[in-house]
Structure 1
């Protein structure tokens, strides 16, 4: 039997819930498009069991499997934008906090070309 990684066994409950919800959303997206699991698996180049694990919110399903499912739905851009710097409010706040409180005018010495 394969060992579960510490990252999976130590997943915070809110992360576990989010993964389960993601699986449900993928299942709903597939059913709305009237794509049977067998066809979804064929398009993703995986087994039906892998699609079932993805839709069940199994945290051991790889990122490539998720990316493949999003590709089938035409939603690959959403994965790319998941942690985009423009939407990282905490990161932006940290950047703003590091800005200098005061600035000075550029002297002619600093403009030497």
Structure 2
């Protein structure tokens, strides 16, 4: 049984699919051209571009690679650019750090 998809996730999938479609069309590629580049079926590419839930992440990454956009996806989740994670980490930083007696240099 399929799990329901939240509205924000549904909108993000639609937007992502639309962007893949636009990138493909800007390159003057047909659905079959992208399918051939990614070893996907034309129907899978169509479902990806329509933003249907259930498309495997590997299919999305294959399309991004074929379109020359995989590096942008990798930067999206770059740990150094995780401002929320850095903020949470900074909130837990101690005011001062004391060395234990075993760490003192003689």
TM-score using structure 2 length: 0.88
Cα shift at 1:102: 2.7
Does residue 24 of structure 1 match 2:22?
no
Question: More deviation in 72-81 or 48-57?
Answer: 72-81
Give deviations 1:61-85, integer Å, cap 9, x for gaps.
0000001001111111122222211
Structure 2 equivalent of residue 99 of structure 1:
93
Moved over 3 A (4+): 103-107
- Find the aligned partners of 1:45 and 1:91 in 2 and give their Cα distance: 36
TM-score using structure 1 length: 0.83
RMSD of aligned residue pairs (Cα, Å): 2.0
- Find the aligned partners of 1:101 and 1:12 in 2 and give their Cα distance: 40
Give deviations 1:24-50, integer Å, cap 9, x for gaps.
000000000101111110111011000
Structure 2 equivalent of residue 84 of structure 1:
78
Q: CA 1:51–1:111 in structure 2 vs 1: closer, same or farther (change >3 Å)?
A: same
- More RCO (CA 8 Å, sep 6+): 2
Q: How does 1:1-113 map to 2 (within 5 A)?
A: 3-4=1-2, 6=3, 9=4, 11-103=5-97, 110-112=104-106
Aligned residues: 106
